């Protein structure tokens, strides 16, 4: 089975199960934690599959994409507060175990992304905002920017070299690093949100 088939199988089996149970389960803390845990598992599996197929310069892009993808799905299905936030906390804690430089920065970055997305959806009717295309896309962009800003600032604070990024941004130095980091995260988060919106529509039409 190739990577494309693997991704398709994971997404279809997981999300169809999610949608089939969404109307029968009562919202509760148990459901919230269960959803957050399931989405975190999917987030890690899909991010790993994607990272194994691309070079080091773009490594992590898949994680940004699937973080936004999972946040949109969990918020749209629960339609109650704290779903994306719990997801970001659980995934952030697990990211501490990733064998990467300064992986401890992923926790505040992940939580920051969840907080921004969560509070953006609280601007008005949370349940309606959670399924509003406009709110979903803007919230994903803002959360992606927040995550990138937190992690990038932390990396600068500890003196990280940014050697991989500097290959492309050597002429503009620090500014180039910030522009590259923010734009990559925002673009991938936006893409993840759009794919999630399309995925939700396609699966709802099959139920």
What integer pLDDT is reported at residue 6 of this predicted model?
52
Cα 49 vs. chain centroid, distance in angstroms? 15
Q: How many domains does the chain have?
A: 1
What integer pLDDT is reported at residue 187 of this predicted model?
93
pTM of the model: 0.77
In percent, how much of the chain has pLDDT > 90?
Answer: 30
CA–CA distance, 157 with 47 (Å, rounded to integer): 26
Give residue 182's pLDDT band: very low, low, confident or very high (50, 70, 90).
very high
What integer pLDDT is reported at residue 25 of this predicted model?
44
What integer pLDDT is reported at residue 147 of this predicted model?
93
159 has a pLDDT exceeding 80? yes
- Tokens representing residue 6 in the block: 């693997």
Q: What is the domain-level CATH number for residue 88?
A: 1.10.1760.20
* Residue range(s) defining the domain that contains residue 75: 3-204
Residue 187: burial class (beta carbons within 10 Å; 0-12, 13-18, 19+): middle
Continuous H helices in 122-172 = 126-129, 133-157, 163-169
């Amino acid at each position: 089975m190739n990577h494309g088939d693997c991704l398709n199988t994971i997404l279809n089996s997981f999300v169809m199960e999610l949608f089939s149970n969404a109307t029968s389960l009562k919202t509760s803390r148990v459901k919230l934690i269960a959803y957050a845990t399931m989405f975190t598992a999917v987030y890690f599996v899909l991010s790993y599959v994607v990272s194994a197929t691309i070079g080091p310069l773009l490594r992590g892009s898949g994680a940004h994409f699937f973080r936004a993808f999972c946040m949109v799905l969990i918020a749209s299905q629960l339609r109650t507060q704290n779903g994306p936030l719990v997801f970001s906390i659980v995934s952030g804690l697990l990211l501490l175990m990733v064998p990467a430089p300064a992986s401890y920065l992923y926790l505040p970055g992940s939580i920051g992304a969840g907080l921004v997305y969560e509070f953006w959806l609280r601007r008005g009717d949370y349940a309606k905002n959670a399924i509003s295309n406009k709110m979903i896309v803007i919230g994903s962009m803002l959360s992606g920017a927040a995550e990138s800003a937190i992690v990038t600032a932390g990396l600068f604070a500890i003196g990280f070299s940014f050697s991989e990024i500097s290959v492309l941004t050597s002429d503009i130095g620090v500014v180039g690093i910030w522009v590259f980091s923010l734009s990559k995260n925002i673009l991938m988060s936006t893409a993840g949100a759009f794919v999630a919106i399309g995925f939700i529509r396609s699966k709802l039409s099959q139920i």
